[in-house]
Structure 1
Amino acid sequence: MRIQSPSICTIRISVLLLTVAILAGCLEQPDTSASDMPDLGVSAAAKVYATEYDTLVAEDGRQIVFPTIHKSLLKDGTNRLFAVVHFQDGSKFEKEKIKLGLNGIRGRHSLTFDLASDAEWELNESAWVLYVDLTGLKFRGGQSVLSRIAKVQAKGGQVQLWISAPKKVARLELRFSEETRDRGAETLPRVIFDRIQYGSSAFFHRVGSLYFHADRPVRGFECSLNHSRFRSCQSPATYWLRPGYHVFRARAISLSGRRGPVMVHHFKKHWHSDDVRITSTNPEESPTTSNSMEIHFQTRSNPPWFLWEWILRLAYNARCRGHHGKLKACVWLKDQIYGGHWGTHAECQLDGNGFFACQSPVRYSNLNEGAHTVVVRSLRDEASADEYSWIVDAKKPEISWTETPEPQTSETIAKFGFVSNEEVDFFCSLDGASPGRCNSPVTLRNLDEGEHRFAVYGVDIAGNRSDTQEYLWRVDNGAPVLTLTQVSPSEAVTSSRRIRLDFEANEPATFRCIIDSTFPPTDLEAFTCNSPYVVDELSEGEHTVRLMAVDLQGNQSEVVEYHWTIDATAPAISLSLLSPSFVPTAETQAQFQFSSSEALSFSCTLDGASLGGCSSPFTVSELGEGSHSFVVRAMDVAGNEGTNSFNWDVDLSAPVITLGTVIPAEEITESHTLEVQFSVSESAEVLCELDGGGQVECASPYVVNELADGEHELIISATDAAGNYDEITYYWTVTSPVVVTLDSVTPEESPTISSDAVFEFSSNNAESYECLLDDGAFEECDSPMAYSGLENGDHNFQVRGISALGEPGEVVSYSWSIDNTPLEATQVSVSQITQNTALITWTTNVPADSRVNFGIGTLNREKYDAEMTTSHVVLIDGLQSNSLYSFQVSCEDFWSRYIQSELQTFRTLR
């Protein structure tokens, strides 16, 4: 018999169908989603979280009410409290058209403030903001508004603040003054990435939705794809994605309008048969200050290269045997089989330059500033390219002033405006304080007199910090300030009988000086002096100089006092040994404590060698065996010197512990008993400690029983008479047979229409797990274990744990069945027709509810039965005689699948 070879068309169709099936499976993207997160946008923040942040954001309308004034805002009455009103269009208009008041002060009545005298406008971020000082408001009777609020709250009442205006209000805040409640100190919101979801159909598979949320209430979000400009967005952000590598960035805007840090997420949109994927980069952030980049990538053929080669060989063997081998198609097939690149070779390209062969990781250095793009593709399939783009930014931002106060002013309020040549986070500091986050403009209130220094710098998104811009100015509206600039000698205790004081004032003034006395109330001219002020031949003991400045208007400064002591007595030294606690000792170091009632400095020597200056406590180390002597010298400011010494011996010979036989010898064992044999080189006190339970005296062999599962530690120590110490430590693990618990199964019902299944399991002592679905062999797995695309029928899942010794535990199993046969309705009929009733019957292949819609001309009536059944009988009544009725039946099963029959008619009897 001759077997007919398949035709080339049959081969081509088979290869095409097989290839399409493989590619169809590869193009399906897995859903890597986590659980859905709530969208905390502006609306949720205004309704739920307003009181937590002392801010209320108005969604619409010209009047809003702050829910409740917190008791914590009142504090102890020493802080200034402001109501801050922001308007949507940021315009400034007449105060008389705005009403601000309190509810709850006088029962049901409200108190309205006079904004003409109690409020002021400030320009904030190019928009006008109304500041209302609530601290100083009083009733007509003179009682403070804040004290009345406190009394109402003490009795359990609540007080609300309200605002109404001719234009829409953006938000209403309760805020302390800048010195105590800095808006810049708020914690900026961070964006957390949740998942990516692609369209389900083949056409919409390139539509990607990126889900994310913020870790706190926010006003909104801004997003950027592939380093495009940031634009306003919300979760999910949806894009039309080309195949390849993408960079998604998002940041949140806080309730006060400040932008948080940028969240960066890299992902790959798969499409081509060969998959080249960039897995990680170093550094990860973009923009970055680094001028080097390291790209890690993986290459994978999809479908696998050996399957594709098998398909090509099948086509070649069927078509190209004998004389057909010279056809052009056969030449191409042969070249693909024997000359193609079947592996993971790749080539790389930087910034549009030529491709070159590369392997992961590929590294670039000495990169210029600006945007860069690396493309990685397979040598066999150039269309499989993946790419990564980033920005190198090492330039410092530049900060400039837009508004500053006068260099000399009597105003206790100062306002600063500043801008940057790029987007930055600003940090401000007043008079050398630690910098804090801030926004322009910054208004400083209640400034003290004297010189002030305001500093600001910016940090861009790449982390580059600008140069600090500083501004100096002076506030002067009172008495002069006298400053003591230098004292010689400057020591608080000295042997010199001469003193010199240098001083100055912050404005033109004359000076008064007096020693060891106080200024009289009048006749200060007798004590006129100049800087420097010098006094000689002083006696030994305590002295005080008092200085005063008088400005041209006669204002007197605060009296500045300087105290010091003249001492010519040599110091006495107290010396003691802190450690070791006894001598002779085996310690190679010693710590000494010493003190003197009047010493200025100390110096130390060990065994006759100088150790230089020292302080208490002082430690000497690396001591050799033998006798030692420690001497400390103290010197006061007059050069007087005192000494003291301590002598001791060091013994360094220590016992040696040797570990012998251990039963069982394995480091991981199921035995709950241990026997350890050991020896000590000399007579010593031997102690054993098991699992940190405290030391006990012991001897060899040391035996312990009834050990619990887990890791164990045995420490054996020996101490000789001189305190020399040695110890050894032995570690081992006791493990019991593994028990696995099946925690959850999804879906829970059986039978089910779902072709997917997820199993979650756990164990208290399993090192790993093995799973088995239906038939086959156990394979290594992890919880949760997910299966998809399961066929109809019965299924069985088994899981077992593997112990630390590699032994499998008992098997836990779960059985269920799948039936996703489509819902069908058949044998729809009408019977038992009378003048005003009719019986409608039909059957379904699975249990479902029953619904009949009927009527004359239109289906305007309905009969419904919620019982789940496969045999459906519905009696419709209330019909008109001798009338033509239309009806239609419909069903919905347990899994919410819905069907509807075709329209039918019947006529009732006369």
Structure 2
Amino acid sequence: MRTLFRPGVLIIVVLGFAIAGCEGGPASESMDEPALALESCSEPFTQSFEPARLSGGRHFYFDAAALSFLDDPAYAVKEIFLNTTLRGHYKGDDFEIPLAINGLQAAPTNGAAFYELTRYVSNDDTSNVRHKLHKLAVNGGVSIHGFMLKAKQNKGEVKFSLQGNSLFALKGILEITGSYSGSCPTPKPSESPTPDPTSTPTPSATPDPVAPVTQILSVEPSAPVTASSLISFSFESDQLGSSFFCSLDGATAELCSSPLVLSGLSNGPHVFQVYAQNSAGLVDATGDTHEWAVDLVAPSVSISNLASLPALSGQDSVEFQLIADDAEAVFRCSLDDAEYMPCNSAQSYSQLSEGVHLFKVLAVDALGNVGEQPAQFQWIIDLTPPQTYIVQAAPVEAVTRNTTMSLQFAATESAVFECSLDHAIYQSCQSPVEYTALAQGLHRIEVRSVDLAGNIGVPASYSWTVDLSAPQLVLGNVTPQAGSLSNAALISVEFSADEAASFFCTFDGGVNASCISPFQVPVLTDGNHELKLQARDAAGNLSEVMTLGWVTDARAPSLSFGAITPTPASRSNSNWLTAVVNASEESILSCSLDAQNLGISSSPVQLSALAEGAHELIVGGVDRAGNHAAPIKHSFTVDLTAPVTTLGSAVGAITHETSNVFVFSASEAATFECNLNGVGFNACTSPIQISGFADGEHYFRVRATDLAGNLGPVVSALWTVDLTAPVVTLTVSRSANASIQFGFSSNEAGSVFTCSLDGAAFTSCSSPLAFSGLAIGNHSFIVRASDPQGNSDPAGVSHAWTVEPLVTTKIISVVPSATFTNQRTANFSFDTNVGVNFICGLDGGALAPCVSPVSYTGMVDGLHNFLVYAIDRWDVQDPVGAQYSWTVDGTVPVVVSITHSYTRSSATINWTTNEPSSAQLNWGVGTDTSRLIPDNGIYSTAHTVTITGLSSNTQYAYIVGGRDQAGNSYQYTKRAFRTNP
């Protein structure tokens, strides 16, 4: 009977047959037939994965599809590491950096240490840390291995999140190690030993063998119910050298070894059994058993109050009643596509914004199985009440005699309407609404709208008054008194009505026009005057007409100034004034100057000896009827003082600005004249801006003339425009490859400098300026100068140079090229990257200058070593150089010994040489040696050549030969033999 085994599959032992394994020592023998080797072998593996992306300096995303090998039962996972590089110095203490996988917190199993610091790099302040994922679990017992396998089966992705304040990850690698069980060759059955009939067995006392005891040491995961389709067992026997047989769910037991990982487990209960068999073939009949259940079915969830939830709501809060088909399941909710978060079976939200909202919920059972399809509900929140507005009212008057009212209205959105008249209870209504038989008095209609979400808008209102009574006029103060004779220049009548009304007046038979109280009208003509007055209320009701009359003589004389000398202007630089006064009728004049009464006067009025300052001349008059003329006045100022000018300039004595702003003022109101650079005075105003100035000196002059004509003194501003940039002189010196020193100066005193190295931003600098430790490659330096006026050359002065790489040496060719040679001459060609000179040495001799190529002759036998070093232009020597070693061998190998043996049809020739050499054989019948067994190319001191197909009882001759590794050939003298008959 022959049985083959596959890794991960269990067999039941058939008594009477033994099983040999690929590992764990030689197989035992069966009494009936030879044992066979297992057809599987185990070898270690390590696989590393870079994250598909790194987010936020702490979240590593891995493509679960790359983990497909986890489904292959041939892979037994042993360890899983997350190796990360973090910015900063970490200590490596347990729980220093907690870890979450796909949002689930990972916890250590059995309190095992799961985190360590592997290295801290002080140069760049980074820490290399390692999380031992195989020592962590989620959801109270699901291994990271199982969780990743679940993510792969769900075609999702795996996210590892590092937790900690101010944590920032630079990179990460996921590393998985274990063993892989592949196929190995099946050997032929071993031959059974042949009994020796002459031997006599010696009896001895042998104790009765005892069956081993099997024990399962550990199970991972160990929970009785798990969401992992993968499980790992570790087991042992109380007897050394025992083999094990395993069975899953009652299947035939097969040979197995500890630890054992089973993957791809189906949903439901499972039973694992393991039996030990000792070297005597005795099997533990009971074995050890582990029972558990795999739960891979995700729970489903529903919203139990879904039917009562409105699709359009006027509330900013909502509550969802959640129910799952698994009583132990928990819920994760998402609002408006936010991240799923833990939630309650009665999940509520408040203070929600207006608009469309989407609620989704998933159920997660106790093992971490997450439902694939969420229950969801979408609704709209409308918290904005509709706005109601009045479209049209008929009649439109606020006060009317009409006892009917029709009102049209509308809302800003779809809504129904409710109306209230004069504060009555709101009733349903439609636009237009009409009310009739309204009583006299004030009325008010209020209309409000209610939208589809139940929001009640602010009412829109319309008020008006129904008025059916005529108004009554009421007379107030009347000036002058009605029916009197007066010289009043104005008639004023105050009136009102017993209700709100408008009024209409007719004066002296004119147009009947709207008027208000008091009615005032100037008396333009002497004689009789009449006023008719009537009131009309807002509803159009008219009062009785009221008539009032007067007789007036109110014509007053009029005065005006004629010629005023020396000037009628408001300002004068003279101390006298003469003014002619004209009157419309004969009048008596009276004068005052600066509030001092001058008494009765006549035209012209003459003033003299006037002091500097402001003056006011007032002239009045009275006609014979006692009517006073309106006074006339002339205001003027006597100014005998010239104005003083103040001048300000925007720039100083020296500037690089090509424009200037001048601000000037006078000690009194005045006009100005300006003169730029001697072109003459012209009218100007302050401020004045002038641009386009060239290099050189400039001046600006200004003078003022006051309103009286007084001319003030000239004031000046002087400045110089400097537009010329300073010139920089640059000197350069170098004493080493990676160093340089610059000296620079400017042709203008007080200049400051800015410098830039290799295109960097310009910064302040001073001379001399040195740089050292420069990187290999091209470099550039620019220096710019700025004078005190801010003039600078934007290009500056620059210098470019190159820092050469470290000098290196290489050997290009060697003749001869073999490391073993019989040539006593050697030629070497060599080169360098930046060097200009070379020094060479042979076999430890002194180094001396040399050029490529270099030749050496007369080389003696033995090992030789050639060295060459390049030297750059800074006299720096390549510290490594290049070397070449070879061996010269001009000595022919010597045959030390030779023997031969032969049969009827073959012969074997053996010989040795004093040094490793190849072997060839010339041979033939009789004394002929023309036949050749070619050089075998194998260098050894012992040689064997076999000739077959020979004739019996025949004389043969042979010559041995070959060559050493340097190509020196050897040949021994001819030898002969005769084959057996």
The one of the two structures with greater contact order (alpha-carbon pairs below 8 A, sep at least 6) is 1
Fold similarity call, TM over 0.5? no
| Shorter-normalised TM range | under 0.3
Bigger Cα Rg: 2
Please, what TM-score do these two structures have when normalized by structure 2? Answer: 0.23
Please, what TM-score do these two structures have when normalized by structure 1? Answer: 0.24
